[in-house]
Amino acid sequence: MTEIENESTLLYRLLVDQSYRWLRHIILIVAIILITVNQLIYHIFHVTTEESYIYVYIPVFSTFIFYLATVYLNIYWLIPRYFLTRRFGWYIVWFTLLVVTASQLLILEEYLVLKVPGIEALPNSYFYEDKFLILSCLSDTFVLAISLFGASMTVILKSWLLENKKLNKLKNRKVQIEVEQVKEKVSPVFLFSVLHRMGHLAPTEPQQASAMLVHLSRLLRYQLYEGTQEKVLLTAEIQFLSNYLLLEQYHTPGFEFRIHTAGKVAFLFISPLLFLPFIQQGITDWKESDTISPLEFFFTEENDQLLFRYLYPEGRKADKNLPVSLFRRLQILYPENFSIKENAASINNSFNLILQV
């Protein structure tokens, strides 16, 4: 379940949302009342009706007040100061003292209710037949400890959820920073070369220089605006790549390229500038291979998957030609939704990237 789905659930809002604060307190108080009654019902509720007002209701009320104070002391002092700061030893010491004190109070109340007035104790009483039942005392102490700690678990769970939420935000921010760091940009050397070429063409071939200027402006506009977005249309990305290759075509005599599309590529969204490393690597491969064949790229949509294929130029081997920065970015953006295959069995070596989009 995603973080957004977690935050939309009733349980999550009940534990964390500030608007449910009073409801949380009401539930806690009701739980303490039930614990108090459960602790006393088998010990002093057999007192006669005439004496019940004095010997039952007042002890029950005083026990409830003490338990309430104990729980809130645990919630607002012990847990924040010791448990959440990982000082577990001190937390255990203080929590044990609270539990033992509450248990002793229960024994004292039963003594005042039963022994002082001379009321006969039931078999489950601490003072049945004038024998103090150690085993019963220890059992009730452990039950009380579990109950008090259980009543405080909402605070621990709330703290864990909030810390987990902060951690997820930090992780998402870290991922965004890493994406920006590994995101490919247009090389300043390439821009300088294009501008230098435009300067030479302007006096003699102004139309070609003007066409280069148009492609360059589209290239930079895409990088400055669409390049900063989380997702862009695949068609916009392909147009950006075409402008880049056209500028290289103006700059490099004999350079040719082809971009093939198939399927419903117009409806796909991808991360911007994702395929620029392949284009840059393809241009380098083409220059080093001394081939006259065009550089070819394929974008194919099939069953909500995008297949990107890059055909290496003739005579160019696939090994050690893949941009490392692209792998890092794919691991961040598509951690379990991409696969890479190199096909050396075909006439032209090819690199295939499959994305689940």
Q: What is the pLDDT of residue 303?
A: 84
Strands 295-302 and 257-262: parallel
186 token code pair? 């247009």
What is the pTM assigned to this prediction?
0.54
- Residues 240, 299 contacting (CB under 8 angstroms): no
Contacts of 307 (CB under 8 A, 6+ apart): 298, 299, 300, 301, 352, 353, 354
The angle at the Cα of 224, spanning 296 to 192, to the nearest 5 degrees, equals 65
Biggest distance spanned by C-alpha atoms of the chain:
120
Q: Are 327 and 278 in contact (CB under 8 A)?
A: no
Write the CA distances from 269 to 143, 229, 231, 266, integer angstroms: 57, 11, 6, 8
H or E segment and range at residue 25? helix 21-44
Compute mean pLDDT per 10 residues along the chain, 357 residues long, and list them.
52 67 79 72 52 59 78 82 82 85 76 65 61 68 75 72 77 68 70 86 88 90 85 93 91 89 91 86 84 89 89 68 68 81 61 85
How would you class 153 by CB atoms within 10 Å of its CB: exposed for 0-12, middle for 13-18, buried for 19 or more? Answer: exposed
H or E, element range at 258: strand 257-262
Which pLDDT score is estimated for 42? Answer: 54
Residue 260 confidence (pLDDT) = 94
Closest CA to 128 of 141, 140, 111, 146: 111
Q: CA torsion sign, 277 to 281 to 282 to 283?
A: positive
